[in-house]
Amino acid sequence: MKQISDLGTILGVWAHPDDEAYLSGGLMALARDAGSRVVCVTATHGERGTADPLRWPPDRLAAQRTTELRDCLDVLGVTEHHWLGYRDGECARVPSSGAVARLCDLIDEIRPDTVVTFGPDGQTGHPDHQAVGRWTAAAVDWAAPARTRLLQSAVTGDWARQWRIVNERFDVFAPGYPVTRRDNELSLRLSLDPGTLARKVKALTAQSTQTAGLIAAMGEDQYAAWVAEEAFTEGVPAPLVCERCWWDHENARWRCAGTPAASLR
């Protein structure tokens, strides 16, 4: 790829408000600036994303995060957004076939050239992220033309080493994560220019229920450096796997609890 516009129409599929901005805020802003269509899909309203559920009961937090996401996408120039409306924290329990069918409908309608989502590891190891990545790979396999690219967000080894102490301090990753990727495994790596980075930070700042504490603790400069890179591997559209399949991150392959010895991918 020589230019961002070569990605064509981009469909991003994410689990919670803020995933899209952390992992692809720069990509979306650059694509919109280049005149590309960008459509963003969010599976849940993130209504359980708080350490203070007394102050933020689910209904109130869902409403707040809906507003925050709209403001964030405004900053990035993204005008098209869809909710799937699943419950935060329960994506892995949603029947995959239903979620995949909804994504297939969106793919039919939008006809994306590039679909951007989580890899099988779910970036942070969050089960919602893993489920959304799985649904999306299946929907691309099912509904998208063969030329459609599937880009899966990745953590680079350099980044994980550079930010290890910060990531541990703020509990960014589930135990055993991240799964890191080598440079030669990446198909797209963006080091954001200062203007785009400032816009990404502004977009993330709009999601203050998720970012205000972190920005205050890290300081804005360090926070900006922390989100300055976006990296993706070329995903392989994957047929819908069964409800008992799980991602074995140590061996980087799908396994199925129904047939324990089998590795599906």
Question: Interface with Zn ion by CB under 5 A: which residues?
Answer: 15-16, 19
Nearest residue relative to Zn ion (C-beta): 16
Given the complex with Zn ion, which of 84 and 144 has the nearer CB atom? Answer: 84
Residue 46 Cβ vs Zn ion, minimum distance, rounded to whole Å: 7
Structure tokens at 198: 């400032």
Q: Tokens in use for 75?
A: 């900053």
The residue among 15 and 30 lying less far from Zn ion, judged by its C-beta, is: 15
Each as own residue / partner, the long-range contacts of residues 215-219 (CB below 8 Å, 24 or more positions apart, any chain) are 217/170, 218/166, 218/170
Least distance CB 92 / Zn ion (angstroms) = 13
Closest approach, Cβ 58 to Zn ion, in A, equals 16
Comparison of 4 and 172: residue with beta carbon closer to Zn ion: 172
CA distance 23 to 26: 8
Between CA 121 and CA 76 the distance in angstroms is 26
Taking CA 9 as the corner, what is the angle to CA 238 and CA 39, rounded to the nearest 5 degrees?
A: 85
Q: DSSP states of 176-191 as a string?
A: T-PPEE-GGGEEEEEE
Burial of 88 (0-12, 13-18, 19+ CB in 10 A): buried
Query: Smallest gap, in angstroms, from Cβ of residue 20 to Zn ion?
Result: 9
In the complex with Zn ion, which residue's Cβ is closer, 32 or 45? Answer: 45
CB of 184 to Zn ion, least distance (A): 27
Cβ nearer to Zn ion, comparing 114 with 130? 130
